[in-house]
Amino acid sequence: MMRIWQNLDQWRERRCAIGSQAVGLVPTMGALHRGHAALIERCRAENQIAAVTIFVNPTQFNDPADLARYPHTLDDDMALLARLGVDDVLTPKASDLYPHGYPFHMEAGEMTGVMEGAHRPGFLQGVMTIVLKLLNLVGPHRAYFGEKDYQQLIAIREMVREFFIPTRIIACPTVRAASGLAESTRNALLSEAGREKAAAIFHTLTTAGSAPEAADTLTAAGFTVDYVEDHWDRRFAAAFLEGVRLIDNVPLGAR
């Protein structure tokens, strides 16, 4: 039976009862898709208790319009989580996770100067801050993150290492549609034609000879490119289509 916790004090009691059993955590902002399902399946396979958080974290949105239209599909999410055999779902309120506003935050250093850090001011700080809160609240042995948000994954892994947090950060490969489009909650904001066209991001990243060439190709195809950059032996892109900001990345070695 899946337990759902909105009240954090009740969750804390439950966490005490779980004791030393291995807890896996998949932190999400809801609007779950096949990418989340892959994280959760692995979490369930590798831990005695599989926990999922659903919380649309306001501090990581630099654009209020992006936050306002972020999809919410709570009933569908709960049905999916139950089907996947999740043990505990936390649906905390913003007033419980940020009871005194946002006085403290985690600074991610040089990472904030590139890609998502540079193009979405406050994004990485907001992600680091909420992940640190959730890791402390849930106390997981393992936490699962997708490679689609690769920079976020690297930053979280480094934060966990820097602060001696006793959680293993597990990276999971990006899940893609048959077209190659990376699964993303924001895909739901695209038209049917937009979703087909958006697969060009993945194909351009895997075939272009260089990052600037990939940027030119995407611009010519009608995308508004935020950046295409190479880091950590991968090629990254962020681009707008139909006013929706999409990101993706591929390993350079595997091309």
- Rg of the chain (C-alpha set): 18
User: Which CB sits closer to its own copies, 41 or 158?
Assistant: 158
Which residue lies nearer to its own copies by CB, 8 or 171? 8
Per DSSP, the three-state class of 43 is helix
Q: What's the longest Cα–Cα distance across the chain?
A: 57
Work out how close the CB of 197 gets to its own copies at its nearest, in angstroms, rounded to a whole number. Answer: 38
State the minimum distance, in angstroms, from the CB of residue 126 to its own copies: 12
C-beta separation of 83 from 34 below 8 A: no
Of 36, 72, 100, 105, which is the active-site residue?
36
The nearest distance, CB 162 to its own copies, in angstroms, is: 5
What's the CA gap between 150 and 31, in Å, rounded? 19
What whole-number distance in Å separates Cα of residue 159 and Cα of residue 184? 24
**Distance of alpha carbon 221 from alpha carbon 242, whole angstroms:** 12
Q: Does the active-site annotation cover 36?
A: yes
- Which C-beta is closer to its own copies: that of 129 or that of 185? 129
Q: How far apart are CA 229 and CA 238, in angstroms?
A: 9
Q: Based on CB atoms, which residue is closest to its own copies, 85 or 109?
A: 109
Let me know the angle formed at the C-alpha of 173 by 92 and 120, rounded to the nearest 5 degrees: 60
Phi, psi of 160 (to 5 degrees): -60, -40
Give 38 or 115: the residue with its C-beta nearer to its own copies. Answer: 115
Minimum distance of its own copies from residue 137's CB (angstroms): 5
CA distances from 247 to 150, 162, 228 (A): 10, 27, 10
Minimum Å gap between C-beta 53 and its own copies is 13
d(CA 92, CA 111): 28
Query: Which residue bears the tokens 């994280």?
Result: 39
Which residues make up the interface to its own copies (CB under 8 A)?
100, 102-111, 125, 128, 132-133, 136-137, 158-159, 161-166
Hey, which residues are catalytic here?
36
